[in-house]
Amino acid sequence: MERFRRLLSTTAVRLTIIYTVLFGLLALGVVAYISLNTSRLLQSQFQAAVDEEVRQISGVVRTLGLRRLIPTVEGRSRRPGANLYLVADANGRIIAGNVRDLDRALLGHEGWRSQPFEYQRFEDGDEELYRAIARVFTLPGGLKLLVGRDVGDATRFSQIVIQASAVSLIVLIGVALLLWFFVGRRALQRIDEVSKRSEKIIAGDLSQRLPTSGSGDEFDRLSGNLNAIIARIATLDAGVRNMSDSIAHDLKTPLTRLRNAAESALGAKSSKARNAELVRIVEGAGTLIRTFDSLLMISQVESGARPAQMEETELRSVLHDVYELFEPTAEESNVTFLCEIETRAKVHANRQLLAQALHNLLENAFKYAVDVNAPRITLSASQEGNRVEIAVTDNGPGIPPDSLEKVRERFFRLDESRHHPGSGLGLSLVDAVMRLHGGELRLEASEPGKGVERHETSGLKAVLVLPTIG
C-alpha cells in the first residue's frame, strides 16, 4: 500500500493521470458531437422521406379521389420495411394502415411530430411499444392521414456509437494504467537505487557514487552532477580532517608554552621575574590570537560564501603602497629592495586582500633572505597577455622542489624555517586570495637548477598571476 502511495506520487504517474483524464474528456466530446450530428442527419432524412410520401398520397387522393386512398395506403403498408401509415376518420377511428394503436390526441395536431411517440404494430401477438416520428395531414372530408417512421434503427445506431465509445474509453484507461504502472515503477526503481546509495553516503561513506545506467538520460545526467558534488565534498572533507589534525598539532605547542610561562609566573621569586613571564604570556596569547585570525580569514576567503567586494584597482598604486611600507625595513636590515613595475594594468580585486597577500610574500622574503650574503628582494610586475604577473623574488634559501606545493598547506613549515617565528599560514592565505581573484600563486626557484643540493640556496620567486581588465 505504501508502495502504491509512493507510485501515485511520482511525477510520471501524475502526468499519466492528467493526460488520461484530458484525453478521455476530449474523446467523450468527439463522440457526443458525432452522435448528435448523426441523429440530426438521420432525422432530417426521415422527415424528407415522410414528406415525399405525404405528397404522393395526397396527390393520389387529389387526382383519383378518396376511394383510391385506402388501397394506396394498404398497398404501401404491406411493403417490406414499410413506413408507418394510418388513416383515421374525424372521430379518430382507424380505417386503414399498419398501426394498430397510438395516442389519438396525436391526430388532432396537424403537421410534424418530431418528438418520438409510442405506437403498437399490427403484428401477431406483438404487444410491444415502438417509437416513431410522424406527420399528420388532413385530407378532404376530415380524414386524417399519418405517415411516420420508426426510429428504432436510429436509436440502435446511437447505442452502437455509445457502446463503441465506452469500449474505447475503457481500453484507453487500461493502457494508460499500464503505462503509468511501468513508467512510474521504472522511475521509482531508479530513485530507490539512488536513495539507497545516498543513505550510505549520508552515513559517511564518501567513496560511494550514485549509479548511472550509461544511457545518458536525465537520470544519468542528474546522477553525474550529484557524483561531482560528492567528489567535491570528499575532497573538502579530507581537507578539513587534515586541517583539524594540523590545528590540534600546531596549536598545542604554543598553548603548552603559554601554560609553562603561567606556571613559572606563579612560582616566580621576584615581582620582576613574574612580570617578565606575564609579558611572555601576553605576547604568546597575542600570537595565538593572530594565528586564529589568519585561519578565520583564510576560511572566509576560501568559502567565498560572502564574496569580498571587488573593484577596479590600479595595480601600480597597491604595489607602490606595499613597497613603500617595507622600504624602511629593507634599509634597516641592509637588504637591496627594488621595485620594478612595468605595467599600468588594472585588475578586478579587493585592495585589502591583495595588499595583505603582497605583505605576506614580502614578510616571508624579508624573514628568510636577511640571513644570506648581500640579500636582495625585488617586487616586480609585468603584463603577460591578458594576465599580469606580480613577482616577489629573493635570493634567500628558497624552498626544496619537493616542498613547493606543500608550503601552501595550512600550518606547513619547512624544518629549516622552524627557528623563525611564523604560523605557517602566510602562503595559505596568499593562495586563497589568489583563487578568490581567479588567479594563482606560482612558486618557483629564482635561480633555477640550484638548491637541489643540501645547504645550497635557490632563492624564491613567488608569482601572483591575475587576470587584467580590458
Partner 1 sequence: MRILVVEDDADVGRQLVDTLQDADHQVTLHTDGASGLTAALKGDFDVLVVDRMLPKMDGLSLLRELRERDVTTPALILSALGQVDDRVIGLRAGGDDYLPKPYAAAELLARLEVLGRRTVSRSADTMLQVGDLELDRISHGAKRNGQSIVLQPREYKLLEYLMSNEDRLVTRTMLLQHVWNLHFDPQTNVIDVHISRLRAKIDKGFDEPLLHTVRGKGYRLGKLAVEETA
Binding site residues, partner 1, CB under 8 A: 279, 282-283, 286, 289-290, 293, 296-297, 300-301, 306, 308-309, 321, 324-326, 328-329, 332, 350, 352-353, 355-356, 359, 363, 366
Q: Of the two residues 114 and 378, which places its CB atom closer to partner 1 in the complex? A: 378
- Compute how many other C-beta atoms are within 10 angstroms of the C-beta atom of residue 57: 21
- Which among 107, 432, 386, 441 has a CA at the least distance from the CA of 243? 432
Look at residues 415, 400, 402 and name the one whose alpha carbon lies nearest to residue 445.
400
Which residue's CB is nearer to partner 1, number 224 or number 422? 422
Element (H, E) at 102: strand 99-102
C-alpha cell at 249: 598539532
Helix locations, 203-314, DSSP H: 218-266, 271-303
- The Cα–Cα gap between 208 and 428 comes to 30
User: 151 vs 377, which CB is nearer to partner 1?
Assistant: 377
Of 303 and 382, nearer to partner 1 (C-beta) is 303
User: 193 or 302, CB closer to partner 1?
Assistant: 302
Strands 99-102 and 94-97: unpaired
Q: What is the DSSP letter of 405?
A: T
State which amino acid sits at residue 26: L
Beta carbon of residue 440, minimum distance to partner 1 (angstroms, whole number): 20
Q: Which is nearer to partner 1, 314 or 363 (CB)?
A: 363
Which residue in 447, 470, 229, 458 sits closest to 345, CA to CA? Answer: 470
Question: Shortest gap between Cβ of 299 and partner 1 (angstroms)?
Answer: 10
Q: Could you give the dihedral angle defined by the CA atoms of residues 457, 460, 461 and 463, in that order, rounded to the nearest 10 degrees?
A: 160
**126 vs 283 by CB, closer to partner 1:** 283
Nearest distance in Å: CB 412, partner 1: 18
Cell digits for 90? 374525424
CB of 442 to partner 1, least distance (A): 23
Answer yes or no: are the C-beta atoms of 85 and 70 closer than 8 Å.
Answer: no
* Beta pairing class for 346-349 and 311-314: antiparallel
User: From the CB of 306, what's the least distance to partner 1, in Å?
Assistant: 6
**Minimum distance between the CB of residue 322 and partner 1, rounded to whole angstroms?**
8
Least distance in angstroms from the C-beta of 265 to partner 1:
14
